[in-house]
Amino acid sequence: MKKLILFALITAIFFNTVNAIGQCVPNTSITTPGIFPDSATGLNSAVVGQAYNQVIQVRVPTDTVVVIAGSPQTVTINSITVLSFTNLPPGLTYTCTPSNCIFPGGTNGCVEISGTPTTSGNFVLNAILETNGTFIIFPITRQDTVDYYNINVSPATGLAGNTKFGFNIEQNSPNPFNENTNIDFTVPSKSNIGFRVYNLLGKEVYNNVFEASAGRNTISFDAKELNVGVYMYSLTLGATTLTKRMIISRR
């Protein structure tokens, strides 16, 4: 469990830049290690030319379990540091608290994404993070690459000159869900929309095409034939594909 919490945490805290000037305020009432929102909920969508803001709250665990010499061992977490990241949507900047982007073990921190995006598209954020820990008296360093958070940026004027609607996908609801969930999305004009679902291994498990009307539409997805777990779902309009995550749970 602690190892899973560590992986979720390092996924969240890559959202920052060393040279950014603003800072968010950590929510010190959070005492359970983890991130808010989690990767299943995902980040807010954005629109070209409109101000964007997303705050991610984190609580760093004090230790984790790793395999050393073939057996699981408890390692104290000293800190998690952002080394690099790529694919930031143009116009947005990232800041973190602490401002040096070093998150000590057992502390609260936060990351704020803000600015005004200038380019539409689906931006998959990619980061390399370094975890520094101690096993007994021996220092341990581990690097992780994180690439499954994304920000969908819709055009300000939609497609084909339409100024009322853009192409945007929302988080499915409910999520997690048992058998049925709804996915809301908008398109600028009457269009054929490709809808696909993939498991975490990248295997396509569902594929369909829907005729959507201009504006807001809803896909009612029946997942009773799928196993429990985390899936990716995407909508494709022309050359643009927007992607989010959903969780199937039978509890």
User: Structure tokens of 140?
Assistant: 């341990």
Pairing of strands 71-86, 102-104: antiparallel
CA-to-CA separations, 129 to 2, 81, 171, 212, in angstroms, rounded: 17, 6, 27, 41
Ranges under pLDDT 70 in the chain: 1-22, 156-165, 251
- At 158 the pLDDT is 40
* Model confidence pLDDT, tens digit, residues 6-61: 555 554 444 443 333 457 888 888 899 887 877 777 777 888 888 888 887 888 89
pTM tops 0.75: no
Query: How many whole angstroms separate alpha carbon 239 and alpha carbon 123?
Result: 14
Please name each of the domains of the chain with its CATH number: 2-153 (2.60.40), 168-248 (2.60.40.1930)
* Model confidence pLDDT, tens digit, residues 178-187: 999 999 998 8
